[in-house]
C-alpha cells in the first residue's frame, strides 16, 4: 500500500433545517443539540472541524461544517454519527463540496514559502467570517500557454497581497467533484474582501472564469453556541 502523501481532503457541507425542527419543544431541541455537540467535540479531536452559521444570511442553508482530514472516510463516519443523533429527520444537506490540497503551479516558485499556494496542509485561522465558493475555469484557459496563465495569475496574486486581512485557502476538485477548485477566504473584515473581489473583476484572468457561484458568507461559531443558535 502506498504511503499517504500528506495531502488533505477538504469538505464544505451545508445544511438547511426543515420546518419540523421549529415545531419541536424547547426541551426536545436541547436534547438533540446536546447529542450533536457531543459528536462534534469527538470529531474535533480527530481532524480539523469548524462550524459556521449561514442562518439569516443565505436563504437555502442555515449552517455549515468545514472539515479537513487526510482520510475521506472521516467525513463519512462523522456524518453517520451526526445523523444518528436524530438530526437526520430535521435537516437537508443542500450542498457538499469535496476537494483536496495540492501545490499551486502558479505560486510554487515564489520565494515566500509561507504563501498559501505552497501548502498541502490547510490550517483554518478561525477568523470571524468565511466566504466559500466553487470555481470552474473555461476550457480556453487550459489551452493557453503556461507562461500566459502565469502572467495573469501573477496579477491576481499581487492583488491578493494588497489585502493582508484576507486569507485564502485554495483546494482542488479535478475528478473528485463537479467543480475544479474550491476557494474559501477567511477575514474579520468583509469590506476588505468585497474590495478585493471588485478589483479582481477587471483583471484579464476574469475572462476565463466559467462559474464561481454559489457564494456563501459564513459566520464562525463555537460548538456550544449551537444550543442557542437554532
**Secondary structure class of 2 (helix, strand, coil):** coil
Establish how many alpha carbons lie within 13 A of residue 47's alpha carbon, considering only the half-sphere containing its beta carbon: 20
Residue 110 confidence (pLDDT): 44
10 Å CB burial of residue 51 (0-12, 13-18, 19+) is buried
- Average pLDDT over all residues of the chain: 92
User: At residue 160, does pLDDT exceed 70?
Assistant: yes
User: Is the pLDDT higher at 33 or at 114?
Assistant: 33
Residue 108 confidence (pLDDT): 54
Strands (E), 72-112: 91-100
Which is it for strands 181-187 and 166-172: parallel, antiparallel or unpaired?
antiparallel
- Quote the CA–CA distance of 137 and 139 in Å, as a whole number: 6
Fold match flag (9-99 vs 103-217) = yes
Domain ranges for the chain: 9-99, 103-217
Give domain 9-99's CATH architecture: 2-Layer Sandwich (3.30)
11: its cell numbers: 469538505
| CATH superfamily entry for domain 103-217 | Apc35880; domain 1 (3.30.70.1030)
What tens digit of pLDDT does each residue of 23-33 get?
999 999 999 99
Amino acid at each position: 500500500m502506498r504511503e499517504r502523501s500528506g495531502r488533505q481532503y477538504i469538505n464544505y457541507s451545508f445544511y438547511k433545517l426543515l420546518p419540523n425542527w421549529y415545531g419541536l419543544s424547547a426541551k426536545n431541541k436541547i436534547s438533540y443539540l446536546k447529542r450533536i455537540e457531543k459528536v462534534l467535540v469527538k470529531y474535533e479531536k480527530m481532524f480539523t472541524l469548524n462550524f459556521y452559521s449561514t442562518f439569516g444570511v443565505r436563504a437555502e442553508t442555515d449552517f455549515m461544517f468545514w472539515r479537513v482530514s487526510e482520510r475521506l472516510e472521516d467525513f463519512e463516519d462523522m456524518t453517520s454519527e451526526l445523523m444518528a443523533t436524530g438530526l437526520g429527520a430535521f435537516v437537508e444537506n443542500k450542498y457538499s463540496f469535496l476537494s483536496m490540497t495540492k501545490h499551486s503551479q502558479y505560486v510554487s516558485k515564489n520565494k515566500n514559502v509561507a504563501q498559501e499556494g505552497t501548502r498541502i496542509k490547510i490550517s483554518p485561522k478561525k477568523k470571524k467570517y468565511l466566504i466559500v465558493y466553487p470555481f470552474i475555469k473555461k476550457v480556453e484557459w487550459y489551452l493557453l500557454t503556461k507562461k500566459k496563465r502565469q502572467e495573469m495569475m501573477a496579477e491576481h496574486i499581487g492583488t491578493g497581497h494588497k489585502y493582508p486581512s484576507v486569507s485564502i485557502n485554495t483546494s482542488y476538485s479535478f475528478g473528485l467533484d463537479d467543480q475544479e477548485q474550491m476557494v474559501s477566504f477567511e477575514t474579520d473584515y468583509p469590506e476588505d474582501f468585497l474590495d478585493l473581489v471588485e478589483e479582481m473583476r477587471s483583471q484579464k484572468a476574469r475572462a476565463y472564469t466559467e462559474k464561481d457561484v454559489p457564494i456563501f458568507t459564513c459566520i464562525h461559531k463555537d460548538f456550544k453556541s449551537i444550543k442557542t443558535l437554532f
